[in-house]
Amino acid sequence: MPTNDPQKRKAIQKKADEKRKGKRARAWWGVLYPESAPDNWRSMIADDLVETLISPLHDKDVLPNGEPKKPHYHVLISFKNPTTRETAAETMKRWGVVVQEHWPKPGEPDSFKVKDFRQAARYLCHLDQADKHRYEISDVQSIGAIDYAALVMSATDEDAMLDEIFDTMDTYGLDSYPAVVRWTRTHHPEWKPIVYRKYTRQISEYAKGLSFESKRGYAAGVDRVDGSMEQSATTGA
C-alpha cells in the first residue's frame, strides 16, 4: 500500500534499488558466426548507434583436443546507460549475435554481462591469453567513439611500441615529427594513439635528437654512446 511517509518511501526505494542492483549493465558481449548472421550485420550495428567493438575473425582458435573452432567474431557493446539483459539480448540477437539470455544460476558463469570492459576488450585479440592465437589490434573494428588501441594498451605494450617507433626512426632516418606521422599513416596505423596523442612530445624530442646527430655526422645504427666516438664528435679528433 502506498505511503506518504518520506522515510518509509525512501526505505522502499532503497530496497527496490538493491533488488535491481546487478540486473542492469552498460556492457554486454556475445559471439557471432558469419554464416548464420544477416549479410548486413555490420551496417545494422552501425545503424543502431550503439558503441561496439568487433574482434578480428577468430579463425585460428582450437579446442582442447586440438580441433579447430568454428570461425567466429566476438562482439562487445557499450550502451550509453545501464540496460536490462532483455534489452541487450534483443538488440544483439537481431544482429545475429549468440548470447546467454537467461540469468545464470548460482555458481554458473555469466558469458553475456561484462564486468570489466577493458579486460573484455583485450580478449578480442587474446592479449592476455598466452595459450591462444593472438590477433592484430589493428584488425578490431570500432563502431562509435571507442579508441580500441588506446583502451587496451598496457604500460608494457606502450614501451614495446615506443621501442619499435624509435628503432624505425633510427633505421629510416625519420628526424622530424611530420616524417613520423607520415610513416604512421602509411605503414603503422596502430601507432596512432602513441604518435598522435600520448607520446607526441617524446617522439618530437627524439626526432630533434636524430636531426642533431645527423648534422654531427652520426650514422644510423651506430652506437651513439660509445665513448671514443663521442670524443671524436666533440673534439674533432
pTM score: 0.70
pLDDT value at residue 138: 86
* Beta carbons within 10 angstroms of residue 122's beta carbon: 20
In terms of CATH architecture, what is 6-151?
3-Layer(aba) Sandwich (3.40)
108 vs 17: CA distance, rounded Å: 24
Q: Which three cell numbers stand for residue 70?
A: 568454428
**Does 8 or 178 have the greater pLDDT score?**
178
pLDDT value at residue 20: 54
Q: Is the pLDDT of residue 22 over 70?
A: no
CA atoms within 13 A on the CB side of 136: 8
Domain ranges of the chain: 6-151, 155-222
Q: What is the mean pLDDT of residues 44-51?
A: 95
Please give the distance of CA 149 from its chain centroid, rounded to a whole number: 4
pLDDT in tens, 55-90: 999 999 999 999 999 999 999 999 999 999 999 999
Most distant CA pair in the chain: distance in Å?
97
The residues with which 84 forms a beta bridge, in sequence order, are 24
214 vs 128: CA distance, rounded Å: 40
